[in-house]
Amino acid sequence: MLKTPSDKTLDSTLPFARDGYLFVTKRCDRYRTDLFQTRLLLRKSICMRGEDAARLFYDEGRFERSGVAPVRVQETLFGRGGVQGSDGAAHRWRKEMFLSLMSAQAISRLGELSAMQWRAYAAKWEEQEQIVLLDEACEILCRAVCEWAGVPLAELEVTKRARDFAAMIDAGAAIGLRHWRGRWARNRAEKWIGGIVEDVRNHRLAPDEGSALHMIAFHRDRQGQLLNERIAAVELINVLRPTVAVAWYVTFAALALHQYPECRQRIAAAQEGYLECFVQEVRRFYPFFPVVAARTRHEFEWKGYRLPGRTRVLLDLYGTDHDTRLWDRPDAFVPERFRHWDGSAFNFIPQGGGSHRNGHRCPGEWITIELMKVAAEFLSARIQYEVPQQDLRISLSRIPALPNSRFLIRNVRQI
């Protein structure tokens, strides 16, 4: 039996905060292995990276998710009682509800709604001196997904609701004021959405039967019971919030178009298959969330190492997407690599890995790709703009990462 490498510090919480997305990779490189043991928030944890590690991590016979996410993450990003923290048959039953919303027609409809919002906002931008793209993208996607989901959104509330969703996302791994902003935003959003669910159930509001609002409001668990109002609100937010989170990827796409102008030219020229390759490379190349967590159900052996039971395990998403064994020149932005990608569910995991239907892979991944394609095509072929001097550096110690300036543009003109 091989001895599991162990981080030398008593607790690695502060080093994790310092190294951020590179925390796992640095130590795996140091110990020349794909896993090591450490303590985070004073809890024993095993960190893993790579395709084989991802394949293991999504083995539901060996890992569980229930109760694994830290309370601070549940109180900001995920919400308590949502699908991310369930396992087994209960998880599959709940996830099926989300997957039923992801038909090709429904995803295309959401893309169309977002395109309408991009055009409407571009008309306003022509009258503005300068805009912050991340903030505008959050509003655009908030409007689009609320209309798509059947959630009523008053004009005067758009900025407030978009900012609350953005605050939840920004607080996922934060401490201090950023954390509390996310927590307050979560409370406001659950109260708002909970009231809407109550209105639907009491027939004061009648959303379309195929909408996310209607489906979640009347979803029944495996025992035939309606979700309680708070859990229904959490799950509806699990449709709205991740869609707004695509604004981070849109911002990175704009950065890539700026840094690699040949990509803009090829998208504008509608080269066959290139837009999807570009979007996938943005998802691989730029940092989104660094790790996902699970817990071992029991003790077992893997590649000569002993993994003890009931132990938290972190899978390195960013490190796996930049693994030199999986990707040629992983630190170069090369969209063409996706013309030859093998489609593995375990080597490309920007939003997690595994199976969509039977595992824990993010059911919103298809929506992410569609919304990014709409935005990248719009920024490349539908408007012209200038990118002023600004701080476009990305700190890999900040989670979630973003360009320091949040990407400023000016002198917008529709084509």
Q: What is the 3-state secondary structure (H, E, C) of 71-87?
A: HHHHHHHHCCCCHHHCC
CATH of span 13-414: 1.10.630.10
Residue whose structure tokens are 């959303």 = 207
Continuous segment of H or E residues that includes residue 316: strand 312-316
> Could you tell me where the beta strands, DSSP code E, fall in 68-139?
130-132
| Per-residue model confidence as pLDDT tens for the chain (415 residues) | 899 999 989 999 999 999 999 999 999 999 999 999 999 988 999 999 999 999 999 999 999 988 888 888 888 888 887 766 666 777 777 878 888 888 999 999 999 999 999 999 999 999 999 999 999 999 999 999 999 999 999 999 999 999 999 999 999 888 899 999 999 999 999 999 999 999 999 999 999 999 999 999 999 988 899 999 999 999 999 999 999 999 999 999 999 999 999 999 999 999 999 999 999 999 999 999 999 999 999 999 999 999 999 999 999 999 999 999 999 999 999 999 999 999 999 999 999 998 755 555 677 899 999 999 999 999 999 999 999 999 999 999 999 999 999 999 999 999 9
**What angle is formed at CA 75 by the lines to CA 356 and CA 183, rounded to 5 degrees?**
125
Cα–Cα distance measured from residue 70 to residue 79, given in angstroms and rounded to the nearest whole number:
11
Continuous segment of H or E residues that includes residue 294: strand 291-296
Closest by Cα among 135, 169, 244, 54 to 401: 169
Q: Are 391 and 153 in contact (CB under 8 A)?
A: no
Domain boundaries, the chain: 13-414
DSSP 358-389: TS-S-TTHHHHHHHHHHHHHHHHHTEEEE--S
Please give the structure tokens belonging to residue 167: 């605050």
CB atoms within 10 A of CB 318: 26
What predicted TM-score, i.e. pTM, was given to this entire model? Answer: 0.95
